[in-house]
Structure formats: structure tokens, C-alpha cells
Amino acid sequence: MSKKAHRGEKLPRKVTLKSLENAALFYLQRYATSTENLRRVLMRRVDRSARAHSTDREEGSCFVDQILKRYCNAKLLDDAAYAAARAASMRQRGASGRAIRSNLLAKGVKSETIDLVLDEQVKDSPATEIKAAYNYCRRRRLGPWRTVEREERREKDIASLARQGYSVDVALRVIDAVSIEELETEMTSQSL
């Protein structure tokens, strides 16, 4: 009797092509993901099975490669579309270009794909970083949205934007805006 069975923990199933495919489909139904991230998810399953059942990790790796190749050909996995959707979502929440790049790299998206997506966003609207910083500050009530102690908190607000990956220039333009209306006017004039 293994230690896990003795402690009442559930043993992982042995991986087969069918079980990995079911796991991949279930994951894709719940989450949008990159090819590399899905590979990591499936390989964790393969590794757990290999440890518990002494199965061949290489065989599981071949199964994962087959599944990923088939899903890429069927367009179930599209890193460019995933990166574009993820970047747009993150921009809407107020993420900087640096934060988006870092997140997508962590998810296994290639640097060239990230560059294309970020360049496309900037081409669509030159004020993309300002708009994202605007959204971040509005959500966090920084800068012009701060009702009290605005001047005393200026440095902390700038530091907060810097930690999110915004340049000092963008941080100063948003935090030092006299009013929200002035900031909105600046954004609309830049996006024209």
C-alpha cells in the first residue's frame, strides 16, 4: 500500500492518449490558453502519473505533443489570438505594456507574437498606455480620483504606477493631471 493510499489521498490515473485529450478539452472549455501553457498543464499530469505508477514520462510527452499538434492544426490553440485577447483584457483593466509582456511570456507566448500584438494596440490608438494608466488610476482612486490628501500621496501614486510597469512620463501625466476632464481631453486628442 502506497503512502498516498494510506493517507487517504487520491492516486492519479495512469495517463493515456484518451485521458490526456479529455483533460486538454476540459481545460480548453474552461480557460483560454497558449500552446506552451497547455503543454505545462498536461505535463504536470504526466509527471504525477509517472511518479505514482512508474510509467514512462517520454511516452506521455509524445502523447502531449500529438494532442498539441492536432489542436494547433484545428485552430483550437492559437497563440496570436490568445495573446491579442489577453492583452486587450489586461489593457482594459489598466495593465501597462511591460506588465502585459511579462504575463504573456510567463504563459509561454513567443516574444515575436507579443511584439506584434503590442504594436497593433499602439497602432490602433497611440494613447494606449495613457488609457491603461487612466483605467488603473480610476480603479485604484489615484491622482485626480483621489478626494483627499492628493498632494501628500503624489509620490506614492507615482510609485504605484511605476510598480505596474508604466514609464515615469506616463505616470506624471496621469497623476499630475489637474482634473479628470483634462486627462480625458488629452487622451481623445492623442487618439485622433
Q: 147-187 pLDDT, tens per residue?
A: 888 889 999 999 999 999 999 999 999 999 988 998 888 77
Dist CA 63 CA 86 (whole Å): 28
Dihedral over alpha carbons 128, 133, 135, 141 (to 10 degrees)? -170
| Inside any domain, residue 5 | no
- Average pLDDT for residues 46-58, to the nearest whole number? 92
Based on the domain organization, do 186 and 134 belong to the same domain? yes
Same domain, yes or no, for 84 and 61? Answer: no
Using the 3D structure, point to which of 54, 73, 92 is the last residue of a domain: 73
pLDDT score recorded for residue 64: 97
Please tell me which residue, 124 or 60, carries the higher pLDDT value.
60
Q: How many domains does the chain have?
A: 3
Q: Which three cell numbers stand for residue 174?
A: 496621469
Burial 102-124 (b: 16+ CB within 10 A, else e): ebbeebbbbeebbeebbeebeee
Give the pLDDT of residue 1. Answer: 46
Q: In this structure, is residue 2 part of a structural domain? A: no
Q: Are residues 20 and 59 in the same domain?
A: yes
Position 4 confidence tier, pLDDT thresholds 50, 70, 90:
low
Distance of alpha carbon 156 from alpha carbon 153, whole angstroms:
5
CA pair distance 120, 31, nearest whole angstrom: 24
Model confidence band, residue 8 (pLDDT cutoffs 50, 70, 90)? low
Write out the H or E segment, with its range, that includes residue 3.
helix 3-7
- Domain annotation covers residue 1: no
User: How far from the centroid of its chain's Cα atoms is residue 106's Cα?
Assistant: 8
Same domain, 187 and 132: yes
Rounded-to-integer distance, Cα 72 and Cα 78, Å: 6
Look up the pTM and report it: 0.78
Q: Please give the Cα distance from 39 to 79 (Å, whole number).
A: 13
pLDDT digits (tens, 9 = 90+) for 108-142: 999 999 999 999 988 877 688 888 999 999 999 99
Which domain, by its residues, includes 91? Answer: 79-124
Q: Which residue has the higher pLDDT, 68 or 5?
A: 68
